[in-house]
Amino acid sequence: MILAGGKGERLYPLTRDRAKPSVPFGGNYRIIDFTLSNCANSQLRHIVILTQYKSFSLDRHIRLGWNFFSHQMGEFVHIVPAQQRVSDEWYKGTADAIYQNIYTLEQERPELTLILSGDHVYRMDYRHLIDFHLKKGADLTIGAIPMPKETSTQFGVIVVDASYRIVGFQEKPREPETMPDNPDLVLASMGIYVFNTQTLVRRIVDDAKRPDSDHDFGKNVIPSMIERDTVFAYPFIDEETREAGYWRDVGTIEAYWQAHMDLLTTRRGFSFFSPQWPFYTYEPPSPPMKVIAVGSGDEYISDSMISGGTIIAGSRIKKSVIGRNVSVEDGCDISGCIIMDDVTIGRDATLNRVIVDKDVIIPAGMKIGVSPDEDRKNFDVFPPGIVVVPKKMRFS
Amino acid sequence: MPKILIADDDENISLLYKEELEEEGYEVEIAKNGRECLEKIKSFDPELIVMDIRMPEMDGIEALGRVIAGQKNVPIVLNTAYSSYKDDFRSWGADAYVVKSSDMSELKAVISQLISGKKPKRGKP
């Protein structure tokens, strides 16, 4: 079950017209494609996506891009909007979202239920998590990302014993409990859970009855399970490097921008280029990217990713991710930018650390990201000086 | 006098329960279906609900879910002629599950346990 109902307020204005899982990412994708592709590649193809706010764009993306599962083989991706089956309210929290969809669980009656978030960027084989869960004989196993000990004041730390059974939590501790086999790392929850379904149902029903609960897995349900159930943490380690896996909750504009910059580095980054682990998405028909005279004089493209249908005349482009059907006219200087589909950038424009949402026309000669004071007059500016140009913005 | 709300579309059963439970010293109110049950919770404010499952307009499964989600912290006994719902995840929010029988002793025992604050044992489905 993929939770895709969050508002994503801290990603505004990218979430002005869409739910967070539906925010475009990496030129070709939407954020939810990573979780869905992880499921598909892990051979988990009984998928329910729970949506509520601003779900139109997400719904359309799933219908267009994720219609290749075989119903005849029993595979499915179902989109379930908040149905108000048992409540006249919208989801009060992550656990309430599952409680309100007990009907869906009852229809399928799986032995195990994997609860995922639709707004994380990572590559993970959930079969390792599930194997771990079964081997430990756990009621619940939480995916946990190893983080440097020094960062522990920013999140909740999971405290485990030597067998990785969870014995407690520390909220933003100064002196955190470290991993059993590494004194420099601590474990943070990735917000992904594999439950024995029967335990899941019992615990969310209990939680639904509690008036003082926020009905959140991380805050309420799981802490109450630590003593009565067997709860384990699965450390998310990259199979190849044996280091902490790459995982990002792109919850803020800065994190969203940084995750794109990570795509462009070769070390410690995140890559789409793995034939064994394809990321699926909706691919509209688009011609190949066309480059007109870049590489002569001081025009060049470096450390960038550029999607199909894009035309680039003579310009300088570095450290940028450019989507489909973008037109970059002569003499532009684009650096540290994320440009989404169907954007036109007029000649001699300068864009530095700018996120341009879909369907924007940047006028010729415009400079964004050069003078912070000018930027603040016209746009939302986020630390460290990232400017966001919202979807369909027009300049007179 | 503890108050009990009975939700059942079978009038004969409701009246029988009402009579028997009043004899035990409870104050009893009747609702004809799940929807009426939700309304009467507000006006009658019961300490316990005995809920049939198959009812017109709104069944006992949906009413149970709505009572829980509405966080009316009132114990609910599902009381149905069918044992098959016991396995249904949606019935697991109930505090007890009693299959209907002409002998009311089990139902009465469960009610008295729940009202006195003891949790009756609910076998694993």
- Domains in chain B, CATH or no CATH each: 3-115 (3.40.50.2300)
Structural domain contains residue A283:
no
Positive or negative, the CA dihedral A240, A245, A248, A249 is positive
Please give the pLDDT value at position B120: 66
Mean pLDDT of all residues in B39-64 = 95
Q: What percent of chain B has pLDDT over 70?
A: 94
Domain extent for A158 = 2-263
Mean pLDDT of all residues in A285-299 = 86
Residues in chain B, overall count: 125
Q: Does A75 share its domain with A155?
A: yes
Check pLDDT > 80 for residue A44.
Answer: yes
| Chain-chain contact of A102 with B66 (C-beta, under 8 angstroms) | no
Query: Confidence class of residue B125 from pLDDT cuts 50, 70 and 90?
Result: very low
As a whole number of Å, the end-to-end CA separation of chain A is 45
Check pLDDT > 70 for residue A249.
Answer: yes
Structural domain contains residue A183:
yes
Structural domain contains residue A272:
no
Q: Does A29 share its domain with A121?
A: yes
A90 close contact with B: CB closer than 8 A: no
Last residue of one domain, picked from the residues A208, A228, A263 = A263
Structural domain contains residue A80:
yes
For the domain that residue A38 is a member of, what is the CATH number? Answer: 3.90.550.10
> With contacts defined as CB-CB under 8 Å, which chain B residues touch A87?
65-66, 69-70
| Chain-chain contact of A86 with B66 (C-beta, under 8 angstroms) | yes
Say if CB B51 and CB B77 are below 8 A apart.
yes
Say if CB A310 and CB A329 are below 8 A apart.
no
| Chain-chain contact of B65 with A105 (C-beta, under 8 angstroms) | no
Please give the pLDDT value at position B122: 54
Tokens of residue A330, six digits: 């002569």
How many CB atoms are closer than 10 A to CB A271? 12
Say if CB A193 and CB A158 are below 8 A apart.
no
Distance, CA of A314 to CA of A294 (rounded, Å): 5
Check pLDDT > 70 for residue A30.
Answer: yes
Query: Confidence class of residue B52 from pLDDT cuts 50, 70 and 90?
Result: very high
Q: Does A98 share its domain with A163?
A: yes
Distance, CA of A154 to CA of A145 (rounded, Å): 14
Structural domain contains residue A275:
no
For the domain that residue A366 is a member of, what is the CATH number? Answer: 2.160.10.10
Q: Does A299 share its domain with A234?
A: no
Distance, CA of A207 to CA of A193 (rounded, Å): 16
User: In chain B, what's the furthest Cα-to-Cα distance?
Assistant: 34
Distance, CA of A359 to CA of A343 (rounded, Å): 5
C-alpha Rg value of chain B to the nearest Å: 13
Q: Does A75 share its domain with A218?
A: yes
| Chain-chain contact of B89 with A105 (C-beta, under 8 angstroms) | yes
Please give the pLDDT value at position A39: 98
Please give the pLDDT value at position A7: 83
Give how far B74 is from chain A: nearest CA, Å.
9
Residue pointed to by tokens 């390792």: A128
Chain A window 166-185: which residues touch B at a Cβ cutoff of 8 Å? none
**Predicted confidence (pLDDT) per residue in B14-39, tens digit:** 999 999 999 999 999 999 999 999 99
> With contacts defined as CB-CB under 8 Å, which chain B residues touch A86?
62, 65-66, 68-69
How many CB atoms are closer than 10 A to CB A92? 18
Cβ-based burial of A130 (10 A; exposed 0-12, middle 13-18, buried ≥19): middle
Please give the pLDDT value at position A271: 86
**Predicted confidence (pLDDT) per residue in A330-368, tens digit:** 999 999 999 999 999 999 999 999 999 999 999 999 999
Q: Does A52 share its domain with A102?
A: yes
> With contacts defined as CB-CB under 8 Å, which chain B residues touch A201?
89, 92
Q: Does A87 share its domain with A180?
A: yes
| Chain-chain contact of B92 with A109 (C-beta, under 8 angstroms) | no
Query: Confidence class of residue A266 from pLDDT cuts 50, 70 and 90?
Result: confident
Structural domain contains residue A278:
no
Grouping H, G, I as helix, E, B as strand and the rest as coil, residue A149 is helix
Residue pointed to by tokens 């003579």: A314
Distance, CA of B52 to CA of B12 (rounded, Å): 13
Say if CB A3 and CB A253 are below 8 A apart.
no
Give how far B80 is from chain A: nearest CA, Å.
19
Query: Confidence class of residue A232 from pLDDT cuts 50, 70 and 90?
Result: very high
Q: Does A250 share its domain with A328?
A: no
Last residue of one domain, picked from the residues A248, A263, A278 = A263
Give how far B16 is from chain A: nearest CA, Å.
30
Encode A155-191: b = buried (16+ Cβ within 10 Å), e = exposed: bbbbbbeeebebeebbeeeeebbbbeeeeebbbbbbb
Mean pLDDT of all residues in A259-278 = 87
Q: Does A168 share its domain with A100?
A: yes
| Chain-chain contact of A208 with B68 (C-beta, under 8 angstroms) | yes
Check pLDDT > 70 for residue A53.
Answer: yes
Structural domain contains residue A396:
no
Please give the pLDDT value at position A82: 84
Structural domains of chain A, count: 2
Structural domain contains residue A279:
no
Distance, CA of A322 to CA of A74 (rounded, Å): 37
Please give the pLDDT value at position A187: 96
**Predicted confidence (pLDDT) per residue in A82-108, tens digit:** 877 777 778 889 999 999 999 999 999
| Chain-chain contact of A99 with B70 (C-beta, under 8 angstroms) | no
How many CB atoms are closer than 10 A to CB A291? 18
A89 close contact with B: CB closer than 8 A: yes
**Predicted confidence (pLDDT) per residue in A153-171, tens digit:** 888 899 999 999 999 999 8
Q: Does A298 share its domain with A238?
A: no
Query: Confidence class of residue A294 from pLDDT cuts 50, 70 and 90?
Result: confident
What are the residues whose beta carbons fall under 8 Å from the beta carbon of A27, sequence distance 6 or more? A305, A306, A307, A321, A322, A323, A324
Distance, CA of A125 to CA of A114 (rounded, Å): 12
A268 or A323, higher pLDDT: A323
B84 close contact with A: CB closer than 8 A: no
Please give the pLDDT value at position B124: 43
| Chain-chain contact of A202 with B92 (C-beta, under 8 angstroms) | yes
Tokens of residue A388, six digits: 């966001």
Q: Does A318 share its domain with A250?
A: no
Say if CB A361 and CB A395 are below 8 A apart.
yes
**Predicted confidence (pLDDT) per residue in A197-214, tens digit:** 999 999 999 999 998 999
> With contacts defined as CB-CB under 8 Å, which chain A residues touch B70?
87
Residue pointed to by tokens 């239920």: A113
Q: Does A344 share its domain with A252?
A: no
Q: Which residues pair with B4 in a beta bridge?
A: B28, B48
